[in-house]
Amino acid sequence: MKNTKEIENKHLIKFILISLLGIIIFTAKIIPGSDKTILLFIIHGVQDLVADYFPHISLIFTFFAALFSIVVKFSKNSKITTYEFMKRNFKISYTQLIIRISAFLLSLLYILRNEIPLDTINQSSGELIVMCGSIIVFIIGANMFLPLLSDFGLAEFLEVLLTKFIKPLFKVPAYAVMSIITAFFVGSTMSMFLTGTQYEKGLYNKQEALKTMTALAVPSIPTCLLFWALFGDDSYFGTYYLMVVAVFFTVALILVRIPPLTTKNKEYLVPKKEEEIEKGNIFKRALTKASNKASKAKYKPSKNIKSVLSILLSFIPFLIALGTLSVYIINNFTIIDTLSYPFALYLKIFGIEEYIQAAPTFILNFVDLAMPAVILKNIASVETRLIMGTISINILLFIAPLLIITSFKKLTNIKELISIMFIRIILLVPITVLWAKLLI
């Protein structure tokens, strides 16, 4: 019979080694001074290899999404409809079916753009179709490494160790710090994905998961660097990123304490066992809880593939279909100026220069983070660029993250997220102006 202490030591070593490997992959720079972590280096390497085939990846994905949706929708007595995965993901409304078919047709038209030159449509859909191919590769690739952070005790270790600090500040479990770190080094989308997978495993209740996703996914340095490079002066980047982080955490402290986040249901998707609070050395308790988790865990990223496919099915077709419609409207109608006028008045209240020119960024931001840069690069005032650049990247809930968050089972809906987005905007403008006065 094996010695119990020896087995516990093995579990402790398993927790330490695998969690350390996960932290290194997610946070360590591939080369000192580089803006790429090991994770981004690996995934971007794969993306570079298949970059020419991103439209084809989107086409294949949307084809099967549309095909299985039609089969499940109209073949009620087929054996395929008896599988839970098929019912959950393909037994959809007619509106969703139209969106999935539209996404496939738009992808097909883009692939055949030389044979069927519908330039107006292809110009609206092309960038989104390529981006979706990239997102599919990114999320599937990241799924290979996420278990290293989420399944081997790191969450439990941080929960015990940091509860006294994180819980009072942000009203979420201490292991939310993993999502903050992931957002900081990798990106907010990956942070939301990590939080969502942990929610589906029962680590967060609905309120905690939504708070972590919408209030604590801090913009990463690489994302801010890329965004600022599109319209800003490099010499101001330090000031810009300091403003981004200061504004982000100021808004987070307020947002987690007001509706709709405070009134969100506290149900768990998977019932969470009530654990007896142990006494004694906090570090020892953290190690014990982490070791117990590691003892039961196995590295099987394949078991998460259904969850990944469900997430992709929930937002890729919407991103292509609704994103194309949004881009087409923006490019061909003056409605953006009309819709952005209330935002212009709000900016004017706080004395922001060139507020009329800056206001459309609020609408463009919803479609894609890069689009506000088109407006901001033509604004003369450096202060206005800094303020609006900080606001744009801190809104967080542009269309792709919105759809990712809604893809997690029974968590939230678009209406609730839109209300959170508008509350973020209401808070962001005065808080950003205040920090600008202190830092510029």
**Residue 95: domain span:** 35-150
Q: Give strand pairing partners of 128.
A: none
- Domain membership of residue 94 (yes or no) is yes
- For the cut 90, the answer to whether the pLDDT of residue 65 exceeds it is yes
3-class DSSP state for residue 29? Answer: strand
d(CA 347, CA 350): 6
Overall number of domains in the chain: 1
SS3 letters for 49-117? HHHHHHHHHHHHHHHHHHHHHHHHHHCCCCHHHHCHHHHHHHCCCHHHHHHHHHHHHHHHHHHCCCCCC
Distances (CA, A) of 9 to 148, 160, 284, 287: 19, 19, 13, 11
Residue 3: predicted pLDDT: 43
For residue 78, being part of any structural domain is answered with yes
State residue 1's pLDDT score: 43
Task: Note whether residue 269 is domain-resident.
Answer: no
Indicate the pLDDT class of residue 274, thresholds 50, 70 and 90.
low
208 pLDDT higher than 60: yes
Q: What pLDDT digit, counting tens, does each position of 373-419 carry?
A: 778 888 999 999 999 999 999 987 666 677 788 888 889 998 999 89
Binning pLDDT at 50, 70 and 90, where does residue 4 land?
A: very low
- Band of the pLDDT at 277, cuts 50, 70, 90? low
Q: What is the pLDDT of residue 394?
A: 92
pLDDT higher than 50, residue 304: yes
Domain presence at residue 165: no
Q: Is residue 99 part of a domain?
A: yes
pLDDT of residue 305: 81
Are 43 and 138 a contacting pair, CB within 8 Å?
A: yes
Confidence of residue 6 (pLDDT cuts 50, 70, 90): very low
Q: What is the mean pLDDT of residues 358-366?
A: 87
In a domain, 437, yes or no: no
Decide if 100 is inside a domain.
Answer: yes
Dihedral, CA of residue 120, residue 121, residue 125 and residue 127, to nearest 10: -30
Phi and psi angles of residue 386, each rounded to the nearest 5 degrees, phi first: -60, -45
The CA-atom distances, in angstroms, between 91 and each of 83, 312, 405 are 11, 16, 20
Spatial separation of the C-alpha atoms in residues 130 and 54, rounded to whole Å: 5
Pick the range with the lowest mean pLDDT from 70-79, 189-198, 352-361, 408-417: 70-79
108, pLDDT greater than 90:
yes
Domain assignment of residue 87, yes or no: yes
